[in-house]
Amino acid sequence: VFPGYERKKGLKVLELFTDGREDSSKSCWKSDASEFFMVAPLIQYFCQTVMVSFGHLAAQCRSFELVCKVIDLLQAIKRGRVSPVERAARLLNEGVVEHNTAYQTAYGAGSVKPKHHKAFHLWKQLLRDGFFPDSLPLERDHKVPKRIGTTMENKVCWEKSVIIRDLASQFNEQRNLDV
């Protein structure tokens, strides 16, 4: 049970596991980054207290634990809690390598995707730039145009039509704000 001030978040977590979400992806559970951040601690707790204690999916739970560790490290680096940048880059590289090894143990080398490889370059980007560009705030903003675009039939000026409908949607949202 979520405390009163977190109750809305609790309802959002429940939405992640509805029948409609399950039907949309038969082979696995999918989420965007903000949804993952919301549910990851619950899954991690379940893995630690139930699955591992009963001897089920130990390798998969270890892989999940390590990806959560890398994500926590990325958040700490982003907030300036790990310094100097050289130490942060070294810890990040070690974490990514450790997770990749655990992932391949759990799921096999054939399940590795290009996004897994890209993680091996994050530490170099951190050393080069001194920070991570963060696209998380923009994640929510792409959903409306995507929803509009997938239902559009207009092939002549499709981009213009999507932009106009997106702007109209944003205008309506701004008009309805309680400020």
User: Once rounded to an integer, what is the mean pLDDT over residues 148-168?
Assistant: 77
Between 48 and 141, the more confident residue is 48
Residue 178: its pLDDT value, please? 65
Q: How far apart are CA 70 and CA 47, in angstroms?
A: 17
Query: Residue 154: is its pLDDT beyond 70?
Result: no
Tally helices (H) and strands (E) across the chain. Answer: 10, 0
Q: Where are the alpha helices (DSSP H) in 29-131?
A: 33-46, 58-78, 85-107, 114-118, 122-129
Q: Please tell me the distance from the alpha carbon of residue 71 to that of residue 98, in angstroms, as a whole number.
A: 13
At residue 1 the predicted structure's pLDDT band, cuts being 50, 70 and 90, is very low
Terminal Cα distance for the chain, rounded: 31
Whats the size of the chain, residue-wise?
179
Q: pLDDT band for position 20 (50/70/90)?
A: low
- Is the pLDDT assigned to residue 5 strictly greater than 60? no
Q: Tens digit of pLDDT for each residue in 103-132?
A: 999 999 999 888 788 889 989 999 999 887
Could you give the CA distance from residue 119 to residue 115 in angstroms, rounded to a whole number?
7
Q: Are 123 and 93 in contact (CB under 8 A)?
A: yes
Global pTM reads 0.67
pLDDT at residue 98 in the model: 97
The residue ranking higher by pLDDT, 2 or 61, is 61
Region 93-107: what's the mean pLDDT? 96
Structure tokens at 78: 């982003």
Based on C-alpha coordinates, what's the Rg of the chain? 20
- Provide the sign of the torsion angle of the four alpha carbons 8, 13, 18, 24, taken in this order: positive
Which band of pLDDT confidence, cut at 50, 70 and 90, is reported for residue 156? confident
What are the CA-CA distances from residue 103 to residues 24, 27, 66, 96, 177 (Å)? 25, 17, 9, 10, 44
Share of the chain above pLDDT 90, in %: 30
